[in-house]
Chain A
Amino acid sequence: MYFNDSAMDINRNNYETFFLLYLDRELGPADMQAVEKFLFENTDLQKEFALLQQTIFLPAEMVFEPKELLLHKEEKRRVVPIYWIRIAASILVMITAGWFILAEVSKNHKGEMARNNQAPVANVSSKKDPVNTVGKRVKTNTDQANLTREKGLTENKNSGEIPNQYKALNQTGDADPGMKNQNDIKEKNNLKQQNPRANSIPDESQLAIQKSNNSLEIQRGEIRTGSDPKQITALAGTQAPALVLTTTISNDQLKYEKADLKEQDFQTENAISIVALNDRNKAITGFFKKLTKHAPDDEKNNARKVRVSVFQFSY
């Protein structure tokens, strides 16, 4: 942008302004040519133009020596080459971390599922259908954790001896090879709760063991046998006083009491015993055990059946 007074031409009245604008290089090419032409035509003004020209200061070379102090030095970024081995290692680390995370999430999910499905699952046979419970597969709330074991127990009432299969189960806990393949067979030792009338269980009685879920943990312990329930003060694996729920013959109503393990009405016919084995983690783990009536169609053998189902209550 040129600063000029192009609206008017240079003349002897305004030449000083044109001279100054010319010296300050604020005129356009046309105005500059007009000034030069004016000077050529008015030689008497050339001296005055020269004086004004001498008022222009010539730039002097000056150096600001501490210039380095003003400079800001940037840290050079270090370029790290990415090699294939580093990429592979990174991928491996991510995959490993992802695998662990998935495993942990899956584990937690299973735990939640187990707690959610820990409703009482004991499918205790009722009086009305004592026969159908014999050898019947007991269904659980969780399919994957369902371990139903039906094992026929035949016992000679007269002999009063526990069948060999039952003995093996009681003594080793590994009598059934099929159970070895199950992950949750810990409870089977504890299922061998003393039953004073076990010796009188007739042949073909069956023991059904149901595990509610994987999280059910019943510690292995000493198998307690005997005829006197008072001798049983605690079940193996229990860490707190057991909760004993029993039924009475008269009204079939459950009652409970907190005490060391007792099974007062255990021997009664058609009684349902609920024995807590563990109350860790806000849950009561135990099993139902029922001794059925005589099978009506098996009068001659006086067959009776015991059914045991494991449960876990959350509270």
Chain B
Amino acid sequence: MSTIRTEPVTINLGPQHPSTHGVFRLRVTFDGEEIIDVEPVFGYLHRGTEKLAESRNYVQIVTLTDRMDYVASMSNNLAYVRTVEKLAGIDVPERAQYIRVISVELQRIASHLMATGFLLNDLGALATPLVYCFRERERILDLFEMLCGARITLSYMRPGGVFQDAPDDFWNSLNTLISDFPNYLDELESLITTNEIVLARTIGVGLLSDTQAVDSGVTGPVLRAASVKWDLRKANPYEVYDRVKFDVPIGNSGDTYDRYYVRLQEMRESIKIISQCIEQIEPGPVRTETPYFIRPPAGETYSSVEGPKGELGFYMVSDGGISPYRCKVRAPSFINLTPLKDMLTGWKMGDLIIILGSIDIVLGEVDR
């Protein structure tokens, strides 16, 4: 009698795979459908952003930051300009700070919409929820177009403020959006949050415990889903975040469902922040006069903001010249991939896709 022999199979998931959210490559070893080993391979979208920054002046680098996390350019801009302001000691007018917070929170909603939509797409829902998320995201992109003329690569912020004040139309459209948006979120929740199949697929899948999350340096919604209440907007308030009231939603167990649900609640909190900002904002200048060639004193600094995907930080070294001596980016997407192997091992092929989707990576940021 012959015996049946089985052996593990190694599959290259990506870089040209529909569900790796870009050109991410995973070498996965399967035992049947079960994952026994994962080896992520990065670098297919490496464009040398950090090196390029060394040969550009401080204003030009803003455009480079747009292209890192290309679904959340505003947050990248903010993280960068804040570091430059800290390095060069530039003050920012109050109105500019409010506009910055409004635009960054809008960007957070847009980014979370993408994350939620693509998570549902990875669950196999044939793009229908994705398109509904995109419909709302379009409205936010329209607002950005009013602000600065661009929709994706915004370059709206400058060291010292924002490059122009928001037009009058913007405020009307913004008011309509924030009054509509909670209803839209309710609709999305009624479709997804209680869907039996979504629950069966996501609850308890891809667990990341709080110790694991903290040990591996994970930040953002992935960390908060693991019940760790850590948010830079509260822990180290920047801009005007100390003047607005909002909650930091957290999850229970750190499974895929929690990561989805935390993002959904964060969108609601962002709406709260925006509406408070609209009430508090007052007319005034939106940009401090700075020379085109900013020459910060020699020194180094690190500054970070709470981006949609986690702590987005810039470490910059200045030698007193017109361009930085070194510009290092702490990219949340990249660092959130650290516990990937622990999260994936033991789960099935279908779970791999949704766990990766729930971490919400953007390859432009992972590879830079």
Bind each other: no
